[in-house]
Amino acid sequence: MTEEIIIAGFGGQGVLSMGKILCYSGVMEGQEVSWMPAYGPEMRGGTANVTVILSDNKISSPILDTFDTAIILNQQSMDKFESAVKPGGLLVYDGNGITRHPERKDINIYRIDAAEEATKMGSTKTFNMIVLGGYLKVKKLYKLESVIKGLKKSLPERYHHMIPVNEKAIHRGLEIIKEVATVN
């Protein structure tokens, strides 16, 4: 199995940490992983994205132009990465702030209103974990316990009291993700 993912949104949405948790989940299951952030001018403009590769085999290039999955969390990222999903691939997006919804007919599209749900849950910081839960519902990559272990590894110990609320958010994501269109 090799899964090539771009996660893209605003800085502060937890894009980079979501990628890191995915990577650590992979490490927990003995996989090879790579995490390549955009650290240049884009970052300084307030957007954030990270390329994550999870694989049973050694990873060659950590830098990619096309992806199996795009997780898109703002309009700029939709404009930039909708076309980068491989045919038959997956696009997961949060509808909040999206003015132009995805239009591709050759990919699987799922929507998750995680921003809205995070507000309802009373903790906007769990936003990225709701998205992660939704993604893992569609792509059953890892056992939930590996993801929780990955979460523990990613968080400094002083934040470990936040693990239960993050776990709850992952579960919420599993429940609320909605299919928009599929090709298979």
Residues near another protein (CB under 8 A) are 20, 23-24, 27, 32-37, 39-40, 59-63, 65, 153-154
Q: Tokens 């390549």 belong to which residue?
A: 36
The conformational region for residue 88 under phi > 0 = left, psi -120 to 50 = alpha, else beta, is: left
- 30 or 122, CB closer to another protein? 30
- 60 or 184, CB closer to another protein? 60
Pairing of strands 2-10, 67-72: parallel
What is the helix (H) or strand (E) element at residue 1, kind and residue range?
none
- 39 or 159, CB closer to another protein? 39
| Single-letter code of the amino acid located at 37 | P
Q: How far is the CB of 35 from another protein (least distance, A)?
A: 4
Q: How far is the CB of 140 from another protein (least distance, A)?
A: 22
- 58 or 161, CB closer to another protein? 58
Q: How far is the CB of 54 from another protein (least distance, A)?
A: 11
DSSP letter for 123, please: -
**Rounded Cα–Cα distance for residues 9 and 42 (Å):** 11
Collapse the DSSP code of 168 into the 3-class scheme (helix H, G, I; strand E, B; otherwise coil) and give the result.
helix
Nearest Cα neighbor of 138 from 166, 116, 109, 115 is 109
- 65 or 99, CB closer to another protein? 65
Q: How far is the CB of 177 from another protein (least distance, A)?
A: 26
Tell me the two tokens of residue 22. Answer: 């995915």
Q: How far is the CB of 125 from another protein (least distance, A)?
A: 21
